[in-house]
Structure 1
């Protein structure tokens, strides 16, 4: 089996090393040896250290490499939308099998890739696009096809999980925790894709598409990052027996018209310490799947890094190579359900709201009235002096409210009205609460 490798950075280099170091085992598992036909890179002269590969295999002509008749499988680890989309569509239409780790492309235009695969008759595998080495997409795509999945909740970005874990452990603010993550190599020089939730949103779209047999794109995912999470939020979560995680949540349920639909969102949320995801620390990933027959399932492991991601890539290479030798292809995309995607306003959640209010009689009654007008029920209220200082009436007080479950639109409208009250000096923070607290 002849492979064209597109990209030879952190992940691509590890793919080459694994191919070289495990050549005999891979050949035995597949039934034929794997050979690299060529490696497309941006710069030929770059120093790649002791990479065990013939230097003459490198080329800057990715499209020319893909079109070669002796290429059976195209492995793409370049990332980004273009030119990767054009390369992979060309390969798939030509009947070649494709293995990709490109979450951004799959979330942006996975439909084009699936359509091209159906047209050409080749395989499209992408286990490495979500949660690195964790075997997750194949179980959703194949093992659980006899079941009905109702909800997928996950921590799918290692950078943000490291930052929030550090804030929880040390009491540091977001900026300090991000600086530590950058120094340790967990965060990129430009961490925007991670801390603003773009990376997790792309992965959420892929998970929802597989879980609910519906094409879900990045534009369908409600996205919020962690840049507004403060040390005070983390402390408040601790006081409630919770921790804060950036969650991707994909759920099946009825929309406003009573039709079956899905909602997909990414945002920071408080979860109780007893939740299976609460103990996931450092840069690890974990995904919690709730299925009707199988019940709750947990997938946990390293979600990023060269070697873990390359492991997932090679697993896909073995699968598609076996298929080609047998003259078969994997089941095509399953999008038969074609469920509508609910807007964020219809998603059911709970809010933790911290208010700085005037410390005088009647305040709690006025605040409770706002919740009642929006049909939002209050679960708990905690009141104390502003800043957590000594007891005794002062000018301001802190009011912390946790709601019962309600539509997000009603909760957001409640917060909007609270901001306009004279007795509310400021809405210090708003965080969603998930996980059955």
Structure 2
């Protein structure tokens, strides 16, 4: 398939540049790759021409930490996973690092992977190496851990050995691993598990770090590397020592951070570290984590100390735009394939409707996308050269049937877990264990 995006305004970072490039250009896409960028590219008779006159054309956004699912039945996981991927695509997010923590049975894992592939999104699918609790009170027990670990490790080898970790023929979905159990059991077991993962073509290993010294635990066990992405890392905020051991461990081992500022502030994790990571030379991308969590306050230190507000922000909208595109690609070690609009890159492209109510008065695509655009302004989404959203509507997987099934499954979940029962369980959990610490 050959497509010419005609007359758009390209907004992109490129490798080695600290400033975004904004310029008018046509973009020719052949199969899955950008093959030409220029003015007045001549389209042949077999080329589909899409009019992008005056519209903004950007790289697809990259989400380096998102939960698409929770612990539900396999059927509920399937529709939730599909809906989550489609929601991301609808918003112009073309690449996802999915921390899939519901891979507690083969059926759940299969349902999630099937839905992920069906969506058409580019996904590093990271099933979590953990089992579901078989008892919460009076203490948490994991009665199925031995059997769960066995099939998960066997499945990891099966998934990773078929095609070098590619879970789709075109490489759009690849294998990763989520690993949050580093503090449990002997460290030798974790060393063996992660060695097994790396030997079986796992491209990314991701884990949560919020508070505490988990980074040094990984470092001391010899587990860090350029394939490790730690989510959040709020414990690194405002560590003024230039030789801080945790920052040094991240940089020396070429690890990456998935920063999720909105939910980190909303969940009182602490201040986000995305900009500081970039300043310290540590790879960093952005993520949303859980879409149900809203944001918190900014400049809280200034307000608390009673000073006047700042004259301007220290960081620019371009910094956020880079984190969401090229920065995310660097964090996932995919910067040679995605994250920019350049010849030879995969055609993961988003087109914004600049005639919308949100964007019609904005002349700068970088600030417009960062501050004003919503998913309603995303007119076209292309992943790997395939158009998944056109004229503001999802095309590969129509949303209507997905919405109906999602509503039905949601009703079943609410009937199975009434609000009052969930509130009771939460209060019991909190009283017994306090706030969860990651």
Asked whether the two chains share a fold, i.e. TM above 0.5, the reply is: no
**TM-score of the two chains, using structure 1 as the length reference:** 0.26
Larger Rg: 1
Higher RCO (C-alpha 8 Å, min separation 6): 2
**TM-score of the two chains, using structure 2 as the length reference:** 0.26
